[in-house]
Chain A
Amino acid sequence: DGDLPHARRISLRRFLEKRKERLTAAVPYAS
């Protein structure tokens, strides 16, 4: 609803940043 508490907002932003790093670092599937 747009009213995300401060701590959760920071945690969520960090989670998304790290998820992007993990996905970028992942070895692509070799077909």
Chain B
Amino acid sequence: PTTAVAATPPPMYFNQETLQQRFQALIEGAKEKWTYAIFWQSSVDEASGASLLGWGDGYYKGCEEDRQKRTLGNAASAAEQEHRKRVLRELNSLVAGGGSSSPDEVVEEEVTDTEWFFLVSMTQSFVNGAGIPGQALFSGSPIWIAGGDRLQVSACERARQAEVFGLRTMVCVPVGGGVVELGSTDLIFQSNEIMNKIRFLFSFNATEME
């Protein structure tokens, strides 16, 4: 249940540089192999009054499957790959300011399933407690889903989509100003150590916001 809603800018902007440092400390310093982390930022849609979780920032580390799929060539179908590459080319020219630089491997190499899942996440938002991130924010409690079978039967479309793209663990932890989501292609069981690390790293205060 993800919905694209035109929201007014959120009241606070988090400094993306410090967010990246937090992601890096969380993911690169972990024993577990997390594939990505996302900070969903909460805001209120002024027109409707709906609470909204939208893209704040993300960190994509990748996984072993990325390397294997590129090497062995067992990635998504040719048509799907062409679609992904076309989108990536358009996005690349968009962030490059429409420059006419020649195509390079960054947009010509295969876009793996987990890369695509991460990219698509940038377009998603969650209204009034919808989806796993929204439920975590609404309840104030972490949600930890370990196992492809559990993701598959989730009521949340995003969780089911995650399973289709090869993810086996999805975690959403409410923090100040939003929700931190972690995903992995590995099976990772709930641990207080990880939960505490997320809460510690993402306990924002006013001086850390732009």
Q: What residues of B have a CB within 8 angstroms of the CB of A26 in the complex?
A: 67, 70-71
* Contact yes or no, B95 A12, CB < 8 A: yes
Q: What residues of B have a CB within 8 angstroms of the CB of A23 in the complex?
A: 70, 105-106, 109
* Contact yes or no, A15 B118, CB < 8 A: yes
* Contact yes or no, B55 A20, CB < 8 A: no
B20 on the A face (CB < 8 A): yes
Q: What is the total of A-B residue contacts with beta carbons within 8 Å?
A: 57
Also in contact, A10 and B60, with CB within 8 A (given A15-B118, A16-B92): no
Q: What residues of A have a CB within 8 angstroms of the CB of B94 in the complex?
A: 2, 4, 9, 12
Complex Cα gap A27–B64 (Å): 12
* Contact yes or no, B119 A15, CB < 8 A: yes
Also in contact, A11 and B57, with CB within 8 A (given A20-B106, A29-B71): yes
B194 on the A face (CB < 8 A): no
Q: B-facing mask of A3-23, CB < 8 A → 1, else 0?
A: 011011111111110111011
Q: What residues of A have a CB within 8 angstroms of the CB of B91 in the complex?
A: 12, 16
Number of interface residues of A (CB under 8 A): 22
Chain A residue with Cβ nearest B104: A20
Q: What residues of B have a CB within 8 angstroms of the CB of A20 in the complex?
A: 104-106
* Contact yes or no, B16 A7, CB < 8 A: yes
* Contact yes or no, A7 B105, CB < 8 A: no
Q: Which of A8, A13, A19 contacts B115 (CB 8 A)?
A: A19
B65 on the A face (CB < 8 A): no
* Contact yes or no, A16 B106, CB < 8 A: yes
Q: What residues of B have a CB within 8 angstroms of the CB of A19 in the complex?
A: 60, 106, 115
B183 on the A face (CB < 8 A): no
Q: Which of B57, B66, B95 contacts A22 (CB 8 A)?
A: B66
Q: 4 closest Cβ contacts across the A-B interface?
A: A20-B106, A13-B95, A8-B122, A12-B95
Binding site for B on A (CB under 8 A): 2, 4-5, 7-16, 18-20, 22-24, 26-27, 29
Binding site for A on B (CB under 8 A): 13, 16, 20, 41, 55-58, 60, 62, 66-67, 70-71, 88, 91-92, 94-95, 104-106, 109, 115, 118-119, 122
